[in-house]
Amino acid sequence: METTALIASIEQLYLSWGYLIVFLATLIETSPLGFTIPGGLFIALGGFYSYGNPAELVIVVISGSLGMLSTFWISYFLGKNTGNSLAKLFHQEVNIKRAKILLEKHGPIILTTSLLASLTRFWIAYVAGTQRYNFIKFSFYALVASLTWNSLFVIIGYLAGSERQNLEAGLARLGILAWGIVLVAILIIYSKSKKEFSQKNN
């Protein structure tokens, strides 16, 4: 399949299921299994295929933010109802202890910034639950983090969409080399994410 044909095929998939794809991508991306998928790429593609349609762009951001926010809420209530049992299961006791100290000293700042970081966002929300942090405040900071993260990736995709013709032309000229570049990029991202996740659990 030619590169341009693949782009068109993915576009059809996004036209049919785009909002659900974005929602599920951020839902998984925010969980402890987030390292298994390139969530940011799925969100950026939503922005890419929304180029020229501001209304769709807004819905993509909302869909992604709701997916992320859902995981934050799940994490919060897991922490609130299970204490540290989940942290022990994933061998995160040390990180949980650090998160507690940071949350107590710098609540709002830590919540907003940590919820943006791929490897800490689930656990900082979990700690907020174990500490019974005010749920309204938590939800506000989680919403800010979700909107910020999703908006950033959607804008990146949208800007790429503005250069779609040039991008497709360049990929077409590269032919099979383009597939090689994409494959290498995916492998590097996956390898790096897996290594960071392993270090986080040691």
Determine the pLDDT at residue 68. 92
Could you read off the pLDDT of 47-106 as tens digits, one per residue? 888 877 777 889 999 999 999 999 999 999 998 888 777 767 767 677 677 767 767 766
Q: Around Cβ 8, how many Cβ atoms within 10 Å?
A: 12
Residue 136 CA to residue 57 CA, distance in Å, equals 27
Determine the pLDDT at residue 195. 55
> Higher-confidence residue: 189 or 5?
5
Burial class of 176 by CB neighbour count within 10 A (0 to 12, 13 to 18, 19+)? exposed
Q: How far is CA 192 from the centre of its chain?
A: 16
Q: Is the pLDDT of residue 179 over 60?
A: no
Could you read off the pLDDT of 117-147 as tens digits, one per residue? 666 778 888 888 888 888 998 899 889 888 9
Interacting residues of 108 by C-beta distance below 8 A, sequence separation 6+:
137, 141
The Cα diameter of the chain in Å comes to: 56
User: Highest mean pLDDT range out of 17-31, 63-77, 187-201?
Assistant: 63-77
| pTM over cut 0.85 | no
Residue 127 CA to residue 195 CA, distance in Å, equals 24
Determine the pLDDT at residue 41. 80
